Amino acid sequence: MPSSWTRVRVAAAALALVVLPGAAWDGARAADAGPTSPVATTVVLTGPAEAVGACELTGVRAKVTAADGSDVNVRGGLTFTRDAWTLQPVDVVQGGAAHDGLWAPCAEGPVVFTARFADPSGVYAPSVSEPVSVSVVRRQPWLELWANPTVPWGKAVQVVTQYDGFGTAVVARDLHLTVDGVEYEPRLLQPATSIQDTYIRGLDTGRHTISVHLPETSWHLGSGVKTVTVDVLPTHGTFHVMPPTRLLDTRRVPEWCTPEACPPHPVFGTSIDITPTIDRHYGFPERTTAVALNVTSTHAHAPGFLAVTSGDSGAAPSFSTGNLWPGQDVATMTFAGVGSYGDVDVHLGSPSHLVADAVGYWTDDRTGAYVQPLTPTRVLDTRGSPRVGAGDRRVQVVGAAPVPASATAVVLNVTSTDSTGPGFVSARASGAPVDDTSVLNMVHGADRSNLAVVALGPDGAVALRALVSPTHLVADVVGYLSPETGQTTGPLTPKRIFDSRTAETRARAGDVTVQVAGRGGVPEDASGVWLSVTTTQSAAPGHVIVWPGGAAPVASASNQVPGQDIAALTLVPLAPDGTVSVRRSAATHVILDVVGVVDAPA
């Protein structure tokens, strides 16, 4: 016989002689004793006192005890079933208690658990627990939403969302943030508890309802919704005229640039934000709510538009405050709220260099001047005299227009016409030091106009001059600023209130009445508005007059040039019924965007 078989038989004999520790070997008694009976056991299954959420741990536990009440500790002896589904066996841990992290199904309804004990060694007898029923429900997700109850106009509304999904992630399409019933932004929150914030931008004054909503999902979470209201308060106040202060000039190449690292003519994208800093070193106080800017586009690569907005405005604007034309410098007076970080955004519709000069600002107090809009009054027309050149042309305002002696500044619509060449026009208080910051750019062979807020000299006059090329000038007073008379004013989120392209099949000359009060954020009792007036698809050269009704004044608010879109800002009082009248001297389409409001008299 092979020796290997001998080794096996010897090993088997050795195993037969093994004595368990702690037991005395009594061969005779062992031979006399018969087979022992397994020890009886009891399995007690306990469940949660309340319903549990779908897809959550149930907290179901089992405890196995022997007949004498002692704990049973056996490895791998316990098996659970859930609605007749047998689950993986688990250990009976120290103390006779066991659970395997039993999960509820991802569906609503009762679930029945049982526990079966079976000792692999046979020392203990098998036993089965009484069934335990667990109620499973769709858990309502815990949602919370916070926002400041009041926010000044022009500032972003910070919304904080806290969410507890009980260990479950929610995809972006499931959780929705709405503002006044319109979805603002899909949200993506992480598993378990997550806190996120969102900045809602561009809200008009008034009360807004903000909600976060989780629709009922197809598996285990129920629906949830939380809503808050936010009041966006008007920041209307008084206006402060300031010497023109340059905030931005993209033509200037930084000293660190090289021809390779910094091109001398940067090309901006078709949609770009350029953010000048609005802070103390420019002379703006902390309570500044909005800034008045004269923005000039130069070296434009293609026709386009520009729009100036608060740094908190958010999405690209649906309006324009100026236009871009290759080979032409175009200046536009405009307003913008100051964002949370003291910023103003300039959006470009095509690449162009930009120059931005601040000419004033608003504060939400009474430390500045009030604004009084006027029916346009012409105070200068040089077409019957020599053109204006580099020398000052003094223009008397107080006494020549309904402007009181208490006025500190005047709001002028300045037009260049019959220019001998390109150039620009500057404006300042009579007797003030020369400041050749432009308020208007000239084009040979075309009329150009722009709004200007100009400080008055002690004699109630202003000084105009034309640089580079002589030109004829026309100036119309459309309002004044005074610390004693007038109303508070402030910018609005720009809104389009009239577009003749949507109402007419053909542009035509003539008059049209436009309802303003009660539209575009303008209160019903407003006394005046700041309007951006744009002409487009003009059939012939001409001009547009905007006035509060009645007999039309000899004035203009914007010009018409065939083949070009021309935009200009103006200030106009409202008629008693809240309307303005618009006259086109030649066939053209007209677009009106409201950008600011003058409040009702106190």
pLDDT value at residue 375: 96
Do 77 and 186 lie in a common domain? no
Q: Which of 477, 481, 470, 455 is nearest to 380 (CA)?
A: 477
> Which of 277-281, 392-396, 481-485 shows the lowest mean pLDDT across its residues?
277-281
Residue type, 390: A
Torsion angle, alpha carbons of 364, 368, 370, 373, to 10: -100
Q: Which residues neighbour 315 within 8 Å (Cβ) at sequence distance 6 or greater? A: 201, 202
Torsion angle, alpha carbons of 375, 376, 377, 382, to 10: 180
Q: Which residues neighbour 119 within 8 Å (Cβ) at sequence distance 6 or greater? A: 38, 41, 72, 74, 77, 125, 126
pLDDT tens, position by position, 215-228: 665 445 556 788 99
What six digits make up the tokens of 199? 């900045």
Cβ atoms of 560 and 593 within 8 Å: the answer is no
pLDDT band at residue 569, thresholds of 50, 70 and 90? very high
Helix (H) or strand (E) holding 493: strand 489-499
Cβ atoms of 344 and 276 within 8 Å: the answer is yes
Do 357 and 245 lie in a common domain? yes
pLDDT value at residue 502: 83
Do 340 and 294 lie in a common domain? yes
pLDDT tens, position by position, 125-142: 999 999 999 998 877 666
pLDDT value at residue 469: 92
SS (HEC) of 345-406: EEEECCCCEEEEEEEEEEECCCCCEEEEEEEEEEEEEHHHCCCECCCCEEEECECCECCCCC
Do 374 and 449 lie in a common domain? yes
Do 373 and 319 lie in a common domain? no
Query: What is the span of the domain harbouring residue 222?
Result: 142-232
Split into its structural domains, the chain has a count of 6
Per the prediction, the chain carries an average pLDDT of 81
Do 497 and 600 lie in a common domain? yes
Reply yes or no on whether the pLDDT at 530 is more than 80: yes
Q: What percent of the chain has pLDDT over 90?
A: 38
pLDDT value at residue 401: 93
Cβ atoms of 114 and 81 within 8 Å: the answer is yes
pLDDT value at residue 298: 86
Do 191 and 107 lie in a common domain? no
Show which of 201, 232, 263 is a domain's final residue. Answer: 232
Compare 260 and 507 and report the one with higher pLDDT.
507
Compare 520 and 55 and report the one with higher pLDDT.
520
CA distances from 206 to 106, 147, 167, 525 (A): 44, 15, 38, 15
Cβ atoms of 420 and 444 within 8 Å: the answer is yes
CATH number (domain holding residue 518):
2.60.120
pLDDT band at residue 31, thresholds of 50, 70 and 90? very low
pLDDT band at residue 41, thresholds of 50, 70 and 90? very high
pLDDT value at residue 194: 57
Reply yes or no on whether the pLDDT at 193 is more than 70: no
pLDDT tens, position by position, 326-349: 888 889 999 888 877 777 888 888
Q: Looking up tokens 């992290």, which residue turns up?
A: 101
Integer-rounded Cα Rg, in Å, for the chain is 41
> Which of 20-34, 79-93, 109-123, 442-456 shows the lowest mean pLDDT across its residues?
20-34
Do 413 and 298 lie in a common domain? no
Cβ atoms of 378 and 475 within 8 Å: the answer is yes
What six digits make up the tokens of 45? 């299954």
pLDDT band at residue 12, thresholds of 50, 70 and 90? very low
Show which of 177, 212, 232 is a domain's final residue. Answer: 232
Torsion angle, alpha carbons of 418, 423, 429, 435, to 10: -170
Reply yes or no on whether the pLDDT at 204 is more than 70: yes
Q: Looking up tokens 């309002």, which residue turns up?
A: 479
Do 19 and 70 lie in a common domain? no
Do 284 and 258 lie in a common domain? yes
User: What span, in angstroms and rounded, lies between the C-alpha atoms of 579 and 575?
Assistant: 5
3-state helix, strand, coil in the chain (%, to 5): 5, 50, 45
What six digits make up the tokens of 507? 């542009």
- Four-residue CA torsion sign, 82, 85, 90, 96: positive
Show which of 136, 159, 187 is a domain's final residue. Answer: 136
Q: Looking up tokens 């050269």, which residue turns up?
A: 541
pLDDT value at residue 577: 96
- Give pTM, 2 decimals: 0.69
CA distances from 546 to 24, 324, 558 (A): 118, 23, 9
pLDDT tens, position by position, 50-68: 988 877 788 888 889 999 9
Mean pLDDT over 390-401 rounds to: 93
User: What span, in angstroms and rounded, lies between the C-alpha atoms of 582 and 550?
Assistant: 11
Compare 444 and 381 and report the one with higher pLDDT.
381
List residues bridging with 146 in a β-sheet.
160
Q: Which of 527, 514, 495 is nearest to 597 (CA)?
A: 527
Do 356 and 378 lie in a common domain? no
3-state secondary structure (DSSP) of residue 152: strand
Do 279 and 195 lie in a common domain? no
pLDDT band at residue 17, thresholds of 50, 70 and 90? very low
pLDDT value at residue 21: 38
pLDDT value at residue 425: 95
User: What span, in angstroms and rounded, lies between the C-alpha atoms of 295 and 330?
Assistant: 8
